[in-house]
Structure 1
Amino acid sequence: MAFKLFDRVRMTITTGGTGNLVLGAAVADAALGYHQTLAAAGAVDGDTFPYVIEDGSAFEWGIGTYIASGTSFSRSLIKSSTGSLLNVTTAAQMFPSPAAQHLPIGLQTIWIPAGAMTPRATSGAAKGAYDSGSNDITLSTMDFDTTTQEYAHFSVAMPKGWDEGTVTFIPYWTNTGGAATQNVVWSLAGRALGDNDGINGAFGTVQTSNDTWQAQNSLHIGPASAAITIGNMPAENDLVVFEVSRVVASDNMAGDASLIGIKLMISYNAGNDA
């Protein structure tokens, strides 16, 4: 779940209880600094935010949803001093504050080996096995032709902590042919699938990674792609199907390019999947 943070917000409660809470004025406290309301901080109807309620010695923290028309917010409990939603009094105060588990933890990697990929039903790449030679380092590969554009698919049940935003990828590949000044262009696109979504449908934005040939039978690690927008409006816990390809119209390397795998880079907005 993505949420917003607001600076210097601390507000009184004018209508309490165990349900939605009606917010009052900003709290003025010369010792702590003067505060502002959610509206003054830029909150709009439907914004979700992590909150803390302090009501005497009782406390509650959770995720709130701002209701602009009533200057109130609904509550989704994470933890409280009573183990349930507080029966909040008008002596309470509310302020937005993320818990450690809410703090964004940046980019994380999901490694997708070629062995986890499937050739597309039409114009599919070929499953392969790369043997390094005398030491027999053997790697599963997905082999892409030099003249015909071919494709492979893989799927990832995305972590709940994923922010449902854009992703990027880094290709790992090798080859048994090629020469200096030649290059390979890899592409990736994705489609999100939620419960009861039709599987057949269009992928989202296609982005590429353009890598220069360095040496035959060497590992090549391409540059990170631009941001890839996943198709079909991704949501929490979705399965995302990805399509990887070699864009032969844009590269010029002689011979097959053997994809070893990709690093899929995603951003989290939660520290765990609780």
Structure 2
Amino acid sequence: MSFSDFYATGTVTVPAGGTAVVGAGTLWSTPIVAGDTLEAGGRAVRILDVVDNTHLTLAYGWPGAALAGSSYIIVYNAPSRTTGAYVAERLRELIERQRILDDGVPTYVAKGAGTNAPPSAPAASDLYLVGSAPTGAWAGYGGYLAVATDAGAWRFTAPAQGMRLYDTATDATWERHAAGWVNISPVPTSALGAANGVATLDSGGKVPAAQLPALAITETFPVASQAAMLALTAQAGDVAIRSDIRKSFILSASPATTLANWLEILAPLGAVSSVAGRTGDVTLGTADVSGLDASLAGKLTTGTRSMCIPAAAFTPRTTSGAAWGLVETAANKRMVRTLDFDPGTAEYAQICIPMPKSWNEGTFTARLIWQPGDGAVGNVRWAVRAACVDYYDGTDNLDRAWGTAVAVATATSGMSTATCYTDITTVTPAGTPANNALLFVEIFRDAADAADTYGADAKLVAVYVNVTLDAVNDA
């Protein structure tokens, strides 16, 4: 046990002239009594009352400077400690301490270890190792040693590293480490290799097979012949993969040298045995699959066709048309023809595309390649709409209304020499699309929309118009 004439665990806080002392990390209720002396910073005041584990009341105001989380000691010098019972208890403790010192290692005999609830009727001097979640009179003393006194109360001793305790209830030995109490009881011989005991090691430092659960497969061996399979150092459950006959075998019992012990791992029923009348490594052509050539004949040339149209091929509209621009790059003198769209007013440009017969007469998509007029940052809102005009259709004439415009806002690159692109999806032409009809496409900058925030011209360089085909050719 740990014996002392003073208590100094934790810290204290008390204002100058105050009598209320607050402790941190303290357990004052049991060791401290009224009349003991609090000493700190060269000052000392008698204790009038022990309120609880973390609160004391002084007999008079603290005479020194205020203490805040300060170290201290409480001297066990209360007059009540000089009674005969107290002196007898102290004497018993000192004798016990001397016995422990004589033994060389502090070891105690306890009635129980790890107990959280104090026994209801302990005998005087019964010792217990308090558990980690104590209750009742033991609350707050987790890991402490608790000794029953003659008065039916408890006296607690803080644990110290190296302490040992023998629990007579469980025949176990405990030792106090930095991390807490550890059970250091040796494993009984009867538990070695036994059920609910501990495993042992053989002469090779491994757990014997008899102490391991059954294993389905331990190792897999690729071999090139039967002879090589029978020469394996294998045990039941091992698998041999025969490359000479493309089969696998599992060892059902020892020894591996007996062919009958190797069982073939069968393929599932209904497994493919041949393909198009061929066995082995098979490479198929279109002729090997019935109807494949005919099915592919109408599919190989269908899909999507992309038509790339330079800005120079567009025609600015007479009313609110985009302006022609011509840019010569500074270093390499590259000439770029553009259509310049104003930031303040919507401007337009159009193109007429005679559509091929292979067009599926549906919607189309577009990608606009463009260049900002300067290095400023902002969004340009581009819009695309279309109308389809068929031959000899009096209601589907050249002046028919446009279809619904599809608009997308795209950020500039922040560099006047870098191009940007905007993808326009699912443009539906107005009119009645038909084979070989004329598709009019109009591109404009929706400058009045709030999403258009770029303050300079947007220069259109080229446009991709992507349509879907549904015929092999245009015949």
TM-score bracket for this pair, using the shorter chain length: 0.5 to 0.7
Matches within 5 A, 1:170-249: 170-180=367-377, 182-197=378-393, 198-249=397-448
CA deviation string 1:64-94 (max 9, x = no partner): xxxxxxxxxxxxxxxxxxxxxxxxxxxxxxx
Letter in structure 2 aligned against 1:271: V
- SS across alignment from 2:312: helix
CA deviation string 1:222-272 (max 9, x = no partner): 242120111101101001111100111231111111000111111111132
- SS across alignment from 1:147: coil
TM-score when normalising by structure 1: 0.61
Residues 217, 208 of structure 1: CA spacing in aligned structure 2 closer, same or farther, 3 A cutoff?
same
Distance 1:129 1:115 in 2: 10
Partner residue, 1:147: 344
Distance 1:263 1:219 in 2: 18
Residues 190, 98 of structure 1: CA spacing in aligned structure 2 closer, same or farther, 3 A cutoff?
farther
Residues 211, 178 of structure 1: CA spacing in aligned structure 2 closer, same or farther, 3 A cutoff?
same
Contact kept in structure 2, 1:173 and 1:220, CA below 8 Å: yes
Distance 2:430 2:419 in 1: 29
Residues 138, 159 of structure 1: CA spacing in aligned structure 2 closer, same or farther, 3 A cutoff?
same
Matches within 5 A, 1:95-174: 100-101=297-298, 105-174=302-371
Distance 2:458 2:391 in 1: 36
Letter in structure 1 aligned against 2:473: N
Q: Which runs of 5+ in 1 are unaligned?
A: 1-96
Distance 1:199 1:178 in 2: 40
Q: Which runs of 5+ in 2 are unaligned?
A: 1-293
Distance 1:132 1:117 in 2: 22
Structure with higher Rg: it is: 2
- SS across alignment from 1:186: strand
Matches within 5 A, 1:59-98: none
TM-score when normalising by structure 2: 0.36
Report how far residue 103 of structure 1 moved.
5.7
Letter in structure 2 aligned against 1:258: K
* Structure 1 moving runs of 4+ over 6 Å: none
Letter in structure 1 aligned against 2:464: K
**Taking CA–CA contacts closer than 8 Å with sequence separation of 6 or more, which of the two structures ends up with the larger relative contact order?**
1
Residues 204, 104 of structure 1: CA spacing in aligned structure 2 closer, same or farther, 3 A cutoff?
farther
Contact kept in structure 2, 1:170 and 1:209, CA below 8 Å: no
Report how far residue 117 of structure 1 moved.
0.6
CA deviation string 1:177-235 (max 9, x = no partner): 2523x111111111111112421110112112321111322343324212011110110
Identity percentage over the alignment?
A: 33
Structure with greater strand percent:
1
Residues 135, 167 of structure 1: CA spacing in aligned structure 2 closer, same or farther, 3 A cutoff?
same
CA deviation string 1:95-116 (max 9, x = no partner): xx75624567322210111100
Partner residue, 1:30: none
CA deviation string 1:136-167 (max 9, x = no partner): 11111111001010001111011111100001
Structure with greater helix percent:
2
Letter in structure 2 aligned against 1:157: P
Contact kept in structure 2, 1:103 and 1:269, CA below 8 Å: no
Distance 2:297 2:414 in 1: 46
Partner residue, 1:266: 467
Letter in structure 1 aligned against 2:373: T
Contact kept in structure 2, 1:177 and 1:254, CA below 8 Å: no
Letter in structure 2 aligned against 1:218: T
Distance 1:159 1:257 in 2: 31
